[in-house]
Structure 1
Amino acid sequence: MPGATIAARHPANLAQALLHIIQAEYARLKKRGSMVSVTDMIGATWRLEDAIRDVIAESLNFSSNSKPMRDKARLLPHLLVQKYPQLSDIEHELRGVFETCRIAIDHKSISPVVAKAAIAIADEYREIIIKLKH
């Protein structure tokens, strides 16, 4: 990912790095006409959810197995920020990833550009969240 190293070195520039990733993905997809499935989007969201649940599990009891995606979109980022207040600036973006996944599931389709951007954001944040445990 083009912005991954920028975000890793300078967390304050994370939003700018993610914007760069989205723009690069948009240009690349537009050129290739690449398709992304709802399944790809769901997989990335589940991996992000697992990473969040893993870091909040130590101090917070949260069972999301039966919760709808709309509740996860609101609750998981909130619980993460409760435990790691320094991540408050990404709470909105995390909610957006979960909400995008919910919409894709409801409509059974998603724009490839939106899906690729959401997957890139989910993967970038998942890496940052995983590093919190180490």
Structure 2
Amino acid sequence: MARAAAEVLADMATMGPVGDAAPVLDRERLAYHVGVGRADKLAPILGELVEIGFLTVHDGGTDPGTGRRRQRRDGRGRPVPDRFAVSLHPPAGYRGPSTLAEADAAFSAARDAVYRDVEASV
């Protein structure tokens, strides 16, 4: 699920439309595209993406009394959607694949090595 959320977030971050033509990415829209049904089910998925440095969520912070997430509000106190900032560059020290082509090549090499090991053991 985290991979699907990352794909949607990256697509939205690199999308061409700006201004009024750009979709406003909120938790409900992200939940729909990821296929989890409800926005409250995104918490562990977003937490994983934040933990690996891919995503920063600008929300209303945590309520010190309840420990629950607060919704962002504008100057008049009206709720506004969270903002999501996506890092399209790997974190410092990352040594894995940088593109889908590199990830697929690593998969193919690993799969071929397993096939060779199986054939050698027969």
TM-score (norm 1): 0.28
Higher RCO (Cα < 8 Å, 6 or more apart): 1
Q: Which of the pair is proportionally richer in helix?
A: 1
Instruction: Answer 1 or 2: which has greater strand percent.
Output: 2
